[in-house]
Structure 1
Amino acid sequence: MKKLVLITTLFVFCLGTNGNADLGDATLRPGMTHKDIAELQQNLDTLGYFDYHEYTNYYGPITEAAVRKFQEEYGLKVDGIAGRETISYIKARIIQIESIKEKEKLAASIQQDLKSLGLYEGEITAVIDEVTKEAIKAFQEKEGLEITGEADNNTIARLNELFPKPVEEEKNTSLVSSRAFVDFTRKYLGKPYVYGASSGNAFDCSGLTTYVMKNFGIKLERTASQQFKKGIPVAKEDLKPGDLVFFSSNGKTIGHVGIYIGDHKFIHASSSKKKVVINDLRTYTGKYQGARRYIELDYEEEFEGEKKE
């Protein structure tokens, strides 16, 4: 199972027959010759599924085997056909990898800057570990910034002032919007609660989170407690739509999970109400234990969460 810390994003596709359309607009099948097949092969190669010395426009046995392997590992229908769903998952995974690389690049840059200031003595690992966090704290204290140990916007901005970075061409990361994510999740309001279910027709709490995230290219562990152990920890005051929120009945063991949608609201499959509902974090009776971020969304589009259950 591939472990994923960042989460990522999903493209929104439209059907069409335009010869200049992007990968995903045409269903690619074994035996076909099509200009998009070379791009499909390249993406599969990046993900470690396609093993051939060149990319071609022919959908042969090697391409089919690569698609089947990808489909199997991501819980998709294993038919060897690169349709819209399969290609959307492939593209989402590519975006995840690019996002990870960008975060690693930023972490390495921070470590190098702190090293130049004599505040960091470790190796350039491209990971914000505890040693790096202590160096960040020392820098924040020196510069009169809030001492958090986190590479927040103010800290990065000050480092960039001290160590100007070359301007890079803006990249199109094609992040899915928070509104689109929440709208998709809200489609399942009212679906029945069934223990162990994650079919799309019925859910338990972690079944809902697993199902929703799967549709955005994110593979989660199946239980709430397992999901709590991974992802990026998020403070309650920093919650954003798409974050998973976790609860405990006894204040110790994680036993429930929901999806934050903004405005203090979260969607979850409620065993007491026997359906998928919306609740307010401020009044919910479950004992809040924390949040985890598995997916990065485009949060520029501000909106309020659903007001009613």
Structure 2
Amino acid sequence: MKKKCSALLLAGFLAFGAGQISMADYMVGSRGPEVQNIQRRLISNGYRLKADGNFNSQTSAAVKKFQFKKHLDVDGIVGPATYKALMGKAMSWAPEKSTRKAGHEANHKTFMGIDDATVEWHHENAMSSTVKAIMEEAKKYVGVPYQFGGTTPRGFDCSGFIQYVFNRKGIVLPRGADEQYSAGRKVSVNALKPGDLVYFQTYAEGISHSGLYLGDGYFISATSSQGVAVATMKSGYWHDRYMGANRVL
């Protein structure tokens, strides 16, 4: 019965966040007229690059500088929050398909990443009532927008979201992602269980992003590109930038 309930909880969570998982952003490899519009807007903001409709490393570097200036997550990806800040309007359609695989280039000399040869993703057969309560609480905020320094449902940043969700269930955590990593017991990627906290490097060297692990390689966090959303660690952007995990429950 516990196994069935746990599987249903994860399945419901992923279905609830399906729009966030599949939503396409503009990143390295994206091409088309809208990429060219983004590049032109970056140029008008003083960044040096070519408006050729090809989202390359030069475009990504300019986006990162813009995101840093606007206090957004610095990931070089133009998602809804960055798009609105840059273009002055909401992103109302999905970007052109990338000619590359999802995700963009990572500096593996800097990021720990995940060793696919040693990891085995799996569903957790049983979860405690506390873990279930934490996951259900987190699910309530899917779609809440990103806000730099945000700690309430009006807008969250990554660590503010984690701190808020756990605090709602009577568990006090530090404010910053790096401070949260210092709490609890460190666990390996193969030992991950729902309710664990997972950490990533997004721009500066070291831990700069935290999320709540859901099971089977998925986690939920607050990002500048999608707000509170479910994402995968199995491949792509977050897979390459994984730094570690801990258990606070």
Flag the structure with more relative contact order, 1 or 2, with Cα contacts below 8 A and sequence separation at least 6: 2
- Please tell me the TM-score bracket, short chain as reference: 0.3 to 0.5
Report the TM-score when normalising by structure 2: 0.46
Normalising to structure 1: TM-score of the pair?
0.37
